[in-house]
Homo-oligomer: A and B are copies of this chain.
C-alpha cells in the first residue's frame, strides 16, 4: 500500500549559509544535507502518516493498523485465536462484579470440593475401611480452618484495597525476604493448581467415559492449551466463559446434596457394596501421621482464597467490598458442599476406586440418581468443566504476580509486558508450559500430584497473616478497632502456620520435599535477578544529561570491486566516519594487485585499504577474524560494517544476489559491539 508521493523539497544552496530555521508548526519535518561539500543539496522530508498514526497535541498516536503490523494473514490467525487488540484505556471496562467475580475467582476453591472428600478417604483407606469414619471429622477440621482464613482475609482486603496478595502484604510488613518467600511458594502452587485441577477435570470425564482413560495425559495438555488461549484473549471474556459452568455446577451439586440428605432423612440411602478387590488392605496403621496426611489432602481446598485478595483490582468499584462479598460467598458454598459430600459418602460407605477410574463424586451421584441418567451426566460434565476452568484462577494469578515481581525487578522484564489483549502473555505461556510438563511428568494422576500441592499456599498464608498482625500493631495508635482485626489475623496466622507444618510433615516423603527444595531455589534465582537488575540500574543512572557527546564507530567496508553499488556503500561510510577501512578479500595475488591499483586511483586519503589474501577461499571468516583484531585492540568502540545490498525487484532475484551479504549479516547478527549498515542499491533508481 503506497499512497501518493510525499512532499520532498529539495533546496539548492551554498553550504556556508546557515540552514533555515525550523517551522514550529511542522514538528515532524526532517532536514538532511546530501554530501559534505559546498553547493550540496539540503533535503527536507515531511512524513505522511495516513492510517498508521493520528496526531494529537504534537505527538503521534499509533492506530490499530500501526500497532499490529502489515501481515494480514498473521493478523487474521491471531485475531481469530485471541481477538483484536484492546487499547489500554478500555482496561477498566474489563472489570467484574460479584456475580461474575464469584465465577472467576471462586471456581478454583469451589471446584476443590470435587476431589477434597476423595483425597481424604484415599489416605484413610490405607488404614482399612473402618477408618473411613474419620472422613467427616477431618472435613469439619478443614472447613474450620477455611472459616478462620476467610475471616482473617476480610481484614486483609480492607487494608489493601489495591490488591493484597501475600507477596505484597508480606514484603510490605515483613520486608522483601518474606515477600519473596511468599512469592516463590505461591508461584509453585499456581503451577500445581493448574496441573491438579486439569487432572481432576479429566478424571471426572473418564469416570463416565472410561475409554478415554488412556488418553488422560493428552486430554490434560489439550485443556491447558485451551485455557492458555482463553487467557491470552483477556479477562472479561474468560469471565463470560466462566459464569455458566460455575453456576451450573452449584445448582447441580446442591440439588444432588439436597436429594441425598432428603433420602438420609427418610432413611432411604442407597446400599453400596464395592467390588471385592477394592477392599482396602489396611497396609498402614492408623496414627497421627496418617490423620495429618488425610487432613493435608483435604486442605487443598483452601488454595482458592489467595486468588480473591490478589485480584481486587479486577473488581468493579468499590473493589474491596465486592471482593469481601465474593470471599464470604465462596467460603460458604465450598464449606456446605464439602460437608455434605463427606457426610453422604461416609454414610453410604463409598470406597475410593484404587485404580482412579471412577471418582467418589461419580460413585455417589450414580448411587443416588442411577447410572447413566441425565443427572449423573450433568453432575460429571459440569464438574469436569468447572475443574478444567478452575485452572483459570491460577492463569489469572500467576501472570499477575509475575508482572508485579517483574516490575519490582525480581523476574525478567518481559513478564510485565501486557499484550494486545491486556493480558500478561509471557506469564500465561510460562504457566501453560510448566503445568503441561507436570501433567506429563506425573502421568495425569491427581493422587500423584496432590502431595506436592498445598504446602506453598499455606506458607504464603502464614506470611501474609503474620504481616497483617504486624500491620495492625504498627497502626495501633491511629486505627480504631485494631485489636479485633489483629486478633482475627493472629488466629489466621497461627491456624495456617499449624496447617503448613502439618502439610509439610505429612507429605514430606511423598513429594512435598521437591517443593521444599524448589521454593528456595526459586527465591535464590529471583534474588539474583533483582541484584543484577539493581547493579545495572546503578550503572545506568545519570543525574541530568546536559550535553551530547559524539562517539565515532570504526567503519569497515568489505568490497569485492568498485562499482556503483559499492561506491554508494563507501559514500554512506564516508558520512559515518572520516577514516574508513576498505577491506578486500582477494582470491589470489593477481586479484589483490588489481584492487590495490584501483584504490590508489581513487586517491582518497580517508580510505585505509586492507587487503586479505584468502588461499582457502573463505570470505566470511577472514572478515570476522579481522573484526576480532580490531575489537581486541579498542574494545570500547563500536564497529560498523557497511555492506552494499541489492534490493530485489522480484522474489526470485533473492537467489541471484546478496547471498554473501546475507551470510555476513547472519554471522554478524549475534556478534556484540558490531552493527551492519546495509546500503540498498536499486538498479532502476540509484
A interface, CB within 8 angstroms of B: 2-3, 6-8, 27-28, 30-36, 43, 45-49, 52-53, 56, 58-62, 64-69, 85-89, 412-414, 417-420, 422, 529, 532-533, 535-536, 539-542, 544-554, 562-565, 567-568, 570-572, 574-579, 581, 585-588, 592, 601-604, 606-608, 610-618, 620-622, 624-626, 628-630, 632-638, 640, 645-647, 653, 655-657, 659, 665, 669, 672-681, 683-686
Contacts and interface: CB of A to CB of B under 8 A. Distances in A.
Contacts of A547: 604
B678 A414 contact: no
A659 B612 contact: no
Contacts of A542: 562-564, 567
Contacts of A28: 608, 610
Contacts of A412: 655-656, 659
Given A60-B612, A86-B616, A680 B685 contact: no
A616 B45 contact: no
A613 B548 contact: no
Contacts of A64: 616
Nearest to A607: B548
Contact of A552 (B89, B414, B575): B575
Nearest to A629: B47
B613 A646 contact: no
Contact of A574 (B60, B550, B607, B685): B550
11 contacts: A35-B549, A45-B630, A52-B622, A53-B629, A67-B617, A67-B618, A89-B615, A418-B617, A545-B602, A553-B677, A638-B678
B638 A601 contact: no
Secondary structure of the A side of the interface?
mixed
A47 B634 CA distance: 9
B665 A673 contact: no
A27 B49 CA distance: 49
Contacts of A86: 616
A540 B572 CA distance: 17
A45 B88 contact: no
A550 B31 CA distance: 16
Given A545-B602, A549-B35, A565 B540 contact: yes
A629 B519 CA distance: 50
A616 B68 CA distance: 9
Given A69-B624, A542-B563, A608-B30, A683 B89 contact: no
Given A601-B544, A676-B676, A656 B529 contact: yes
B638 A572 contact: yes
Contacts of A31: 579
B618 A552 contact: no
A586 B56 CA distance: 13
Contacts of A576: 553, 575-576
B602 A60 contact: no
Contact of A66 (B43, B47, B88, B621): B621
B647 A87 contact: no
A626 B656 CA distance: 30
A574 B548 contact: yes
Contacts of A552: 32-34, 575
Contact of A656 (B36, B413, B604): B413
Given A62-B613, A542-B562, A46 B633 contact: yes
Contact of A45 (B8, B46, B548, B634): B634
A59 B613 contact: yes
B683 A673 contact: no
A551 B572 contact: yes
Nearest to A544: B601
Q: Name, among A31, A52, A601, A604, the residue most crowded by chain B CB atoms within 10 Å (CB to CB).
A: A52
B59 A611 contact: yes
| A-B residue pairs, 5 tightest by C-beta | A67-B618, A539-B683, A87-B615, A540-B563, A67-B616
